[in-house]
Amino acid sequence: MLAYLQNIAVLFCINAILALTLNFIMGYAGIFSLAHAIFFGVGAYTAAYLALHVTDSLLICIAASAALSAVLSMVLALPALRVRGEYFVAASLGLQVIGVTIFSEWKSVTGGLGGMIGIPPPKLFGYTFGSQASYLTLAFVILLAVLGITALLVRGSFGRSLMAIRDSESAAQAYGKHVNAVKTLSVAVSAGLAGVAGTLYAFYMSFVNVEGFMLDMSILLMAMVIIGGTGTLFGPIVGAALLMALPAALTYLPFIPQSELGTIQQIIYGLAMVLLMMFRPGGLVGGRSKEKSA
Amino acid sequence: MLFVQLMVNGLQTGALYALIAAGFSLIFGMTRIFHAAHGATFTIAGFVFYECFSVLQWSWPLAVVVSAIAAGIFGVLLDRWVYAVIQRHEGSFFTVFVASFGAAIVVQNVISIVFGRGMVTVTTPLSKSIEVIPGLFVAPMAGVAILCAVVCFAILQYLLTRTNLGIALRALGENPNLVEVYGLTPRKLSQYVFLIGSVLVVPAAILTATTSGLNPSMGNHIMLISIAATIVGGVGSLRGAAMAGLLLGMAENLCLAFIDPQWSEAVTFVILFLFILFRPGGFYGRAIVS
Amino acid sequence: MSQAAPHQVLLEIRNLNKNFGGLQAISDVSMDLPAGVITTLVGPNGAGKTTLFNMITGHLVPTSGTVHWLGQSLNGIEPWKIARMGIARTFQDLRLFSHMTVEENIMTVMERNSWLWQTGADAVRKRVDEILEETGLADKRTERAVDLAYAERKFLSLARIMASKAKLWLLDEPASGLDPRSFDRFVALLREYAAKGVTICIIEHNLDIVIQLSDRVAFLDQGKLLAQGSSDDILKDPHLAAIYFGERS
């Protein structure tokens, strides 16, 4: 039982980190990305590759994953954000699709459809993260760190620039905000931290394959952020908890066949997204915080 | 000969993509709503046709009509019951997009519950390929597809340039306030836009059902094509979207001469990305820099 | 804010032209905007006033002609850079940062760069307090912009431009719809900052406002600058009045 709960807890931490980082750009910057799962995946594959072939040092793997994800996101963001928001959505959808193909086909690096297995546990200053409890601690510490970083950014002048751009890009420009730089930086931070979550995931599962990084995952993350509440610090965490609890809750309903669990889940949060946008766009935590602009 | 075969396939796919893209571009260009459920409309149209024609064994004209009605109703009701509500209180890009997206997810999953997750195909006498010349296989359905596309575009062109409704719709895209001067409401016109845009995918859906088949999650691919074609063709240009759809269909097929099929979707993305990089205005649009 | 010599010309517009694919929106406009002077731009709808503003702020690129600010050409410079050079504008539809509080709206304008640690946080806070006092928004500081009343929003729009330390203010119909008491406060604020050496240019339709506010008036019609001079000269000209009210010769 303990092992089961610890498992859920670790996965919750990972999902919460992903939701927090996605909310950073969706809720605070107003940038919509359908490719968040890919940045998660890039981080995971990077850590896995490094751990299997180069080093099992936790710090190096985290740094490399974050860097690679961040750089990839900037390659996407720099041209797409320069033009308009809708273009970024389109480009991110494209990246999600092509990312999955690359993960599945680039056998030499990603192991293809079979993925990479046997990833050794990471080491930090001589300590090896062997037990599940140690992973839980690690995951929790990283979650707190990400929460801290996000709070620091959002509540400070960077966050204000971000929100100003979200509320009125033309006014933000008229008052000296370098819009493209701020947006690109926020995308890089978001993707980099998602990469860190990927590292955590790869080491915890000790195997990675493309299944965890597909469009469904990006959609799930988006649902977490939206249902929990965009533009709030704890909304995504609530969303992550809720949407993780959903499959477990559904198993208690007798009339739902096992095979359709995933489908029913998606219908529920699809409906939730529609209804929330109609009546409570700020999400569960945010409330009606999205009325017409001043 | 492989090349010619791929070109013919590309033409067929391109014709269908042109229709789909035109539908999306029409809706987006005129209502500024990012109708992420456009792929869902396609899926509904295809599966309804399958149900009516293959399962219930109705005649094909009846099946086509029912399919069109289903698609049209979906589009209009989504606009009326969901988008209208949202636009009334806030209507930002984000909110509408998310609601649209949510609707698409619901549709995709409901269809997969009803019809299963696998591929379904509608077999018709016209679906079977004939060896037209040695090495070149063409199904008569391909000809039907291209003919259909041409006819639809001709009708659309007539509608938009020669009828009062069409002119009002174009005005809606340019300047919604102007429309009110003529005693029309943007809301009502928007429903017409959704009706037309949604019905445009019906021929494409039916033809796809009879050739390569349908599955519930194909909506995602349809959306990628719609969005990519709209951007490559230029936002606000129907002709551009149609041409871009054709281009993407051709590219998707021609590239098979050089790379594996799994990468064909990637080709769409590469083309999209190149345009965003070098010519964000697309073929015909003006580069919209905020 | 360093003082420019009173009436020293800070913004020079020479032979500015803007052509939108066949439509000549601005035609050979030349204008000077001196420090400490409130100039009003008047003219019928569609005369090109906002287009002119957009070319100064860098949102539109002129077809030909030059705009010089403090001796430097603004041609081809991006809007955010021009903003940082000391030019700020308001919008007819305000474009406040709606989901941010009044305080945040003002603070974010003052935060030049977006680094995590800002130097001079105390000075910033003091200035924010000052501005809140001057615009009468002190008791609304934690209200969100979207929740403010109409007049308060107009003042917030002004507060932002005050916070920007800009030396050139381009105001697009800033006082429209204000009740008389708010209007008087508004005018007083503008005069105060003009006296400190700020160059102000206002687009305005309401002639009463024009009369009360302007030191100079420039009359724009169909993209051409028909006349500029003191407000008395321009407003008493019957020919211009005819154009303004739609009766053309």
Q: How much is the pLDDT for C249?
A: 44
Would you say residue A238 has pLDDT above 90?
Answer: yes
Q: Which of A243, A278, A279 should be substituted to probe chain B, the one whose Cβ sees the most B Cβ atoms within 10 Å?
A: A278
User: A94 vs B228: CB contact, 8 Å cut-off?
Assistant: yes
User: Domain for residue A134, yes or no?
Assistant: yes
**Complex ipTM over 0.90:** no
DSSP code string of C173-229:
STTTT--HHHHHHHHHHHHHHHHTT-EEEEE---HHHHHHH-SEEEEEETTEEEEEE
Is the distance from CB of B85 to CB of B215 less than 8 angstroms? no
Other C-beta atoms lying within 10 Å of the C-beta of residue A251? 10
Residue range of the domain that includes B241: 2-278
Q: Average pLDDT, stretch B199-207?
A: 92
- Distance separating alpha carbons of residues A93 and A215, to the nearest angstrom: 8
Task: Give dist(CA C90, CA C154) in Å, integer.
Answer: 10
How far is the CA of B267 from the CAs of A35, A76, B224, B275, B280, in angstroms? 17, 16, 12, 12, 17
Do the domain assignments include residue A287?
A: no
The domain tally of chain A equals 1
- CA Rg, chain A, in Å? 19
Distance from CA of A58 to the nearest CA of B (A): 33
A115 occurs within a structural domain: yes
Which residues are registered as beta bridge partners of C168?
Answer: C87, C199
CB contact under 8 A, A160 and C111: yes
Q: Do C108 and A289 touch (CB under 8 A)?
A: no
Instruction: Quote the minimal CA–CA distance from A143 to chain C in Å.
Output: 20
Count of domains in chain B?
A: 1
Q: Supply the pLDDT for residue A256.
A: 76
H or E element, residue B192? helix B186-210
Range with the largest mean pLDDT of A95-109, A162-176, A190-204, A245-259: A190-204
Residue A191 resides in a domain: yes
Nearest CB to C104; choose among A153, A160, A231 = A160
Burial class (CB in 10 A: 0-12, 13-18, 19+), B261: exposed
Among residues A79, A106, C30, which one has the least CA distance to residue B276?
A79
Query: Is residue B288, in this structure, part of any structural domain at all?
Result: no
Where does A19-135 show beta strands of DSSP type E? Answer: 116-117, 123-124, 127-128
* Domain span at A202: 2-212
Q: Residues near C167 by Cβ (< 8 Å), separated by ≥ 6? A: C1, C4, C10, C35, C70, C86, C87, C197, C198, C199
Query: C219-246: per-residue pLDDT in tens?
Result: 888 888 888 888 778 777 787 777 777 6
**Is the model's pLDDT at B289 over the cut of 90?**
no
Alpha-carbon distances of C199 from A175, B290, C6, C103, C212, rounded to whole Å: 17, 27, 10, 25, 17
**Integer Cα distance of A98 and A92 in angstroms:** 10
**pLDDT per residue as tens, chain C (249 positions):** 445 555 788 899 999 998 887 788 888 899 989 888 899 998 887 778 888 999 999 888 898 999 999 889 998 898 899 999 999 999 988 899 988 999 999 999 988 765 656 667 788 888 899 999 999 899 998 999 988 999 999 999 999 999 998 999 999 999 888 888 998 899 899 989 988 989 999 998 877 778 888 888 998 888 888 888 887 787 777 877 777 776 554
CA distance A77 to chain B (A): 11
- Opening angle at CA A14, ends B109 and A180, nearest 5: 85
- The domains of chain C are located at 1-86+167-249, 95-165
Architecture per CATH, domain C1-86+167-249, reads as 3-Layer(aba) Sandwich (3.40)
**Residues from chain C contacting residue A176 (CB–CB below 8 Å):** 80, 83-84, 109, 112, 164
The gap from C-alpha C230 to its chain's centroid, in whole angstroms, comes to 19
Which one of A152, A167, A291 has the shortest CB-CB distance to C116?
A152
Mean pLDDT of B116-130: 82
CA distance A70 to chain C (A): 18
CB contact under 8 A, B223 and A93: yes
- For residue A96, the model assigns a pLDDT of 92
Residue C48 structure tokens:
């090109």
- Looking at the domain assignment, is residue A254 inside a domain? no
Cβ–Cβ below 8 Å for A97 and B265: yes
Q: Do B89 and A273 touch (CB under 8 A)?
A: no
Looking at chain B, which residue has its C-alpha nearest residue A98? B266
- Name the pTM for this structure: 0.86
What mean pLDDT is predicted for residues A145-164?
Answer: 91
A265 versus B44: the higher-pLDDT residue is B44
What's the mean per-residue pLDDT of chain A?
88
**Pairwise CB contact (< 8 Å): A93 & B224:** yes
For residue B175, what is the domain's CATH number? 1.10.3470
